[in-house]
Homo-oligomer: A and B are copies of this chain.
Amino acid sequence: MHHFFVEPENIKSGKVIISGSDVRHITSSLRLDVEDEITVADGAGNKYLVELSSIEDGMVIGEIKDEILKEVEARVNVTLVQGLPKSKKMDLIVQKCTELGINEVIPVETKRTVVKLKDSKAKRRVKRWQKIAKEAAKQSGRAQIPKVRRLMKFKEIKELLEDYDLVLIPWEDEVQIKLKDVLGELKETENTKNIMIIIGPEGGFSSKEVELVKDAGAYSVTLGSRILRTETAGIVATTMVLYELGDLG
């Protein structure tokens, strides 16, 4: 079934109003008609089964037939802090992590980040990643659109840490503590709700950076014995966290 997002204010009194470019998509590309069913979400976690009731120029109106239970969203909130990678890897990371069920992505500049973005370019990039997140959320039938936050400096991340129950920083120099061990222990307690995963750029983190967040309570972990590219590490760590603590798989 085709899935769309609308602003929360466009859902009221059992009706949904769809406007903008989605109208042309519904009428011209998909050739949907009155009585056809779609799903609609408000991007904040609510998702509905909707029957189209009126199609006019520039506006489609539908009636809510049923509320789709929120189980389409993961039980835990995962934030991925991603060291800015080269080329279009961030597009891939945002798309795949959205499908997996991530809550938030924060691109970050670290000591070894090669790509340097000026303010205006960084803003355009964030806008583009936010668009990718929306498209991927639509495609994967999510009720929520992950938020892509502004490009931050690494030291700003430290200030955010207190909002999280668990902060993981996969690091190639960590050989003792496995991600699996940390997740295995936490599974028992079941009150881990907000999780942050911090992934370095191509060159990895400096020890100083790792110490900075470890001092604030983060766990440095290994993802195993094979070297993963930066974009693989983000997708794979998110998969393992959502598999163990969320609902993936």
Q: Is the CB of A248 within 8 A of B243?
A: no
Asked if A139 is at the interface (CB within 8 A of a chain B CB), the reply is yes
Asked if A228 is at the interface (CB within 8 A of a chain B CB), the reply is yes
Q: Is the CB of A223 within 8 A of B236?
A: no
Told that A71-B225, A225-B247, A226-B248 touch, could you supply 11 new A-B pairs with CB distance under 8 A?
A96-B232, A96-B235, A99-B229, A99-B232, A101-B224, A139-B229, A180-B243, A223-B249, A237-B249, A239-B240, A240-B248
A224 CA to B139 CA, complexed, in Å? 15
A237 CA to B96 CA, complexed, in Å? 13
Mark each residue of chain A from 153 to 193: 1 if its CB lies under 8 Å from any CB of chain B, else 0.
00000000000000000000000001110010000000000
Known contacts A179-B249, A243-B180, A248-B236: A140-B226 contact under CB 8 Å? yes
Supply 27 A–B pairs (Cβ within 8 Å), ascending by A. A71-B225, A92-B92, A96-B232, A99-B227, A99-B228, A99-B229, A99-B232, A100-B226, A101-B224, A139-B227, A140-B227, A140-B228, A178-B249, A179-B249, A180-B243, A180-B249, A223-B248, A223-B249, A224-B247, A224-B248, A235-B236, A236-B239, A237-B249, A239-B240, A240-B243, A243-B243, A243-B244
Asked if A85 is at the interface (CB within 8 A of a chain B CB), the reply is no
Tell me which of B96, B179, B223, B226 contacts A142 (CB under 8 A). Answer: B226
- For this chain, the copies found in one complex come to 2
Q: Is the contact region of chain A dominated by helix, strand, or loop, or is it mixed?
A: helix
A interface residue numbers (CB < 8 A to B): 71-72, 92, 96, 99-101, 139-142, 178-180, 183, 223-229, 232, 235-237, 239-240, 243-244, 247-249
A141 CA to B236 CA, complexed, in Å? 17
Known contacts A140-B227, A225-B72, A226-B141: A100-B248 contact under CB 8 Å? no
